[in-house]
Amino acid sequence: MSPLDGKVAIVTGSGRGLGLAYAKELARRGASVVVNDVDAAVTADAVAAIQASGGRAVAVTAPVGPTETAKQLVTAAVEEFGRLDILVTNAGVLRDTVLWKMSDDDFDTVINVHLRGTFTTVREAVLHMRQAGEGGRIICIGSPTGQRGTFGQTNYAAAKAGIVGMVRTWALELKRAGITANTVVPVAATAMTATVPYFAAAVQAEANGEPMPAFFRHDLGFGTADDVAGLIAFLGSDAAAGVTGQVIGVGGDRLQIWTHPEAALTAYHEGGWSYEALVQAWPTEFAAALQSVGERFPELPEEFKPAAS
């Protein structure tokens, strides 16, 4: 038997890219899948690709965010396949720009799809899973940006950090119902990374059907969408019944368990920390404990550096 035989999954934003890789892997492992995208032709192609490989899939073409879409997704799973066991919230959009140029619409659009869309879809799925009484798996897609920040991505960082906070809360709330909730942080070649010069050699290798260089796969933990899909299938399976409330990074040959925020330093001052006490103590007691921000990439080996224009 395949590990997901008899299971039913919803994968939002699964018409292409990472989401499609997740949907295909879940189907390959035996699950029936509800595919979702905003483009009807894209969802139709995704369903056809899964069915051509012997899987079962149905399409729901609708934008993630509204409660109506969440209800439509759950209804499709239950009416087409009889149940719902796994939800993967992957749908997302980008509106990148620096803080002082970011419009209300730039901010609201990203928050609505990523954060509200995750909330509404998980809420609807959990309503069904709790009533069914057979447990379930919630897998929400995060980002390194939500963990460390990225220049020009105020909206995206807020949404992805918010997803992690919600998932940790859901892990507590859903434990008694046997429903796990985890965040996956993928690092992979996608349409988003294809335009970043740092990843050019890796993206080009994948486009040429060649193995990615070891520097990217091992040192950087950067790989293909298929490299992420195995973790999605694992977290959706019975083998991961004891895994919940976690933030798990995966890419290339690397897997990481992210820490939950903890105090980097704790210090006490009798009577409290006045301005004067802080001025005196900061350089010696606190400065060394300050945390870095943003992603830290190792220097590219010479053979992978883009040619100067």
Q: Which residues are catalytic?
A: 143, 156, 160
- Bridge pairing between strands 254-257 and 247-251: antiparallel
Query: Letter for the amino acid at 62?
Result: A
Closest CA to 259 of 114, 148, 115: 148
Closest CA to 158 of 110, 219, 228: 110
- Phi first, then psi, for residue 184 (nearest 5°) are -110, 130
Question: Greatest CA span in the chain, whole angstroms?
Answer: 71
Q: How many CB atoms lie within 10 A of CB 265?
A: 10
Q: How many CB atoms lie within 10 A of CB 297?
A: 11
Q: 14 with 35: CB under 8 angstroms?
A: yes
Q: How many CB atoms lie within 10 A of CB 306?
A: 11
User: In Å, what is the CA distance from 1 to each residue of 31, 81, 229?
Assistant: 11, 18, 19
Alpha carbons 290 and 271: distance in angstroms, whole number: 24
3 state DSSP class of 34: strand
Query: Letter for the amino acid at 278?
Result: L
Q: 172 with 182: CB under 8 angstroms?
A: no
Query: Letter for the amino acid at 286?
Result: F
Q: 21 with 99: CB under 8 angstroms?
A: no
Closest CA to 27 of 14, 38, 40: 14
Alpha carbons 95 and 231: distance in angstroms, whole number: 28
